Amino acid sequence: MTKPKKEAKRWFDQGTRDAESSAKVREQGIFELSCFLAQQAAEKLLKAFLYYQGEAPVVGHSTFYLAKQCQEYDERFKKVLRAGKRLDALYIPTRYPNGLVEGVPYEVFDEEDAEEALKDLAQIKSLVNSIL
C-alpha cells in the first residue's frame, strides 16, 4: 500500500469510528456531542479523500472548504457542499457556551439537530466510501 493510501485509510477509519460514535451518543440523548462528532467525522472522511489523492498535509476544519478542495479532483463533491456548510455551523456552538447567543449547548441542540447532522454526514460518508 502506498503512503498516501495508507494515510487515507487511517483518516477514513477514524472518520468512520467518529460517525459510529455520533450515532451512539444521539441514541443516548447527548445531541450536542452527536452534532459535533458528525462534523468531525465528515472532516476526517473528506481529509481521507484528499490524502488518497496525494495531498499532504491536509489542514483546516471546514467541511465546506474541504469538500470544495475535493471537488477539484472529483466533481461529485459538488453534491455535498451544502451538507458541509450545515456541518460547519456545528463546529463551535455545539461545544462552547460563548458560541451561542444565550444558553449552553446541551440545552440548545436537540434530537432533530442531531438527525440532520447525521443525514449530512451520511451523504459525505457515502460519497467518500464509494470512491475509496
Please give the model's pTM, rounded to 2 decimal places: 0.96
Average pLDDT on 91-120 reads 97
Q: How far apart are CA 55 and CA 77, in angstroms?
A: 17
What pLDDT, on the 0 to 100 scale, is given for residue 2? 85
Residue (of 125, 129, 130) closest to 20 by Cα position = 125
Position 1 pLDDT exceeds 80: no
C-alpha cell at 129: 466510501
- Tens digit of pLDDT for each residue in 18-56? 999 999 999 999 999 999 999 999 999 999 999 999 999
C-alpha cell at 33: 456531542
Q: Would you say 33 and 108 are in contact if contact means Cβ atoms under 8 Å apart?
A: no
Residue (of 128, 18, 2) closest to 73 by Cα position = 128
- Tens digit of pLDDT for each residue in 82-93? 999 999 999 999
Average pLDDT on 65-89 reads 98
Q: Which whole-number Å values give the CA distances from 32 to 97, 108, 109, 120, in the listed order? A: 11, 8, 5, 15
Position 128 pLDDT exceeds 90: yes
DSSP letters along 25-89, please? HHHTT-HHHHHHHHHHHHHHHHHHHHHHTT--S-----HHHHHHHHHTT-GGGGGGHHHHHHHHT
